[in-house]
């Protein structure tokens, strides 16, 4: 008898060009995909053919994703900073294993500062950022959507498998032993 673990679920919040690049790479390494975007025409993109597609905006995430669990990987990559911020602030309070947001370091700093300030103004405790990765992905130097997708999915694999993301190069050790 061979145990087959259930596919981990990746939820893409946004269906733009980076999400379109991430979807086939993530599916290719065994993630089950859900894509959430209010732009129905983007949900029809061929990259999402094997995905569950939900035509909802970020203010409808409770309705779109009522069954989030501690096993889910969430990727925020909407079309604008305001939607990214709204999705991140909301998803911080929902179950997840991993929560990543695309963007520059400057954008991440600004959004986190606003989220923290808003939570404090509302009298809420500081959200748990322990499982948040922003900017999302490993530092590979990629610039194109396809390169960013490899970086993002590599980080998802490292999280799923317990890897570090560090190079596996054993040449220095081999040379030291020789």
pTM summary value: 0.93
How far is it, in rounded angstroms, from Cα 147 to Cα 6?
A: 27
pLDDT, average across residues 114-139: 96
pLDDT, average across residues 99-106: 97
pLDDT in tens, 132-152: 999 999 999 999 999 999 999
Contact 138, 151 (CB under 8 A): yes
């Amino acid at each position: 008898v061979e145990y087959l673990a259930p596919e981990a679920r990746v939820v893409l919040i946004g269906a733009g060009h980076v999400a379109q690049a991430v979807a086939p790479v993530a599916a290719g390494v065994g993630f089950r995909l859900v894509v959430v975007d209010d732009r129905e025409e983007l949900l029809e993109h061929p990259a999402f053919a094997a995905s569950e597609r939900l035509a909802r905006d970020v203010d409808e995430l409770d309705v779109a994703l009522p069954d989030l669990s501690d096993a889910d990987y969430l990727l925020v990559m909407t079309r604008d900073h305001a939607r990214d911020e709204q999705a991140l602030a909301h998803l911080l309070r929902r179950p997840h294993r991993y929560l990543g947001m695309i963007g520059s370091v400057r954008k991440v700093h600004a959004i986190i500062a606003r989220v923290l300030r808003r939570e404090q103004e509302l009298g809420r405790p500081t959200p748990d950022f322990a499982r948040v990765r922003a900017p999302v992905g490993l530092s590979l130097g990629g610039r194109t959507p396809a390169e960013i997708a490899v970086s993002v999915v590599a980080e998802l694999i490292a999280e799923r498998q317990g890897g570090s993301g560090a190079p596996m190069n054993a040449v220095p050790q081999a040379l030291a032993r020789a």
